[in-house]
Amino acid sequence: MGCLPCFGSSGKGEPAKKGGARKDVPSDRRATGVGSDKPKPQGLLDSKDAVIPREGNNQHIAAHTFTFRELAAATKNFRQDCLLGEGGFGRVYRGRLDNGQAVAVKQLDRNGLQGNREFLVEVLMLSLLHHDNLVNLIGYCADGDQRLLVYEYMPLGSLEDHLHGIHLKRNLLTGIHG
């Protein structure tokens, strides 16, 4: 018995089953990998478990790969009137793809510290995340030193607008003057 009975045996001095697996450990725990002491919930992926594509090999990423030229055309060459916002990681532009789909294109700061490998890991993780409360990643661009993320466009504004009351302020001003 281990230090805490609810966690079962420490495994010291216990014979192993044929094949080297301990008899007190469920088979799904044994499959989680070296150094893992508890099973991962289904559907969750740790970044160290991700299959990281090598340079030029993005076959494991489900998101669409765009060229810089395609995204420049979608955003009218990143014109100022298409700018939705700007933050610490770069600028976000409204755009329209060739198929007519409205998108938000996040152009990451080229002077940022994120390398190509880290960018592709981020794209891989974002392409695997799907939830009603999250904006879906449609694709990405990694042409030369350009790093862009393409998300579905949300016409009602950003979460920041809603949290900081920009819409509320507009409604209050309209109510006062209207």
Per the annotation, binding residues for ATP are 106
Return the SS3 of 108: strand
Question: So what's the pLDDT on residue 17?
Answer: 44
- Is pLDDT above 90 for 42? no
Q: How distant, in Å, are the alpha carbons of 3, 77, 167 from that of 120? A: 42, 24, 35
Give the count of beta carbons closer than 10 Å to the beta carbon of residue 143: 14
DSSP 107: E
Task: Report the alpha-carbon angle 153-44-134, nearest 5.
Answer: 15
Quote the pTM value. 0.60
Per the annotation, binding residues are 106
Return the CATH fold of 64-163. Answer: Phosphorylase Kinase; domain 1 (3.30.200)
Which of 46-50, 111-115, 143-147, 160-164 is predicted with the least confidence, judged by mean pLDDT?
46-50
Top mean-pLDDT range of 41-55, 69-83, 106-120: 69-83
Question: What is the rounded distance in angstroms from the CA atom of residue 91 to the CA atom of residue 84?
Answer: 8
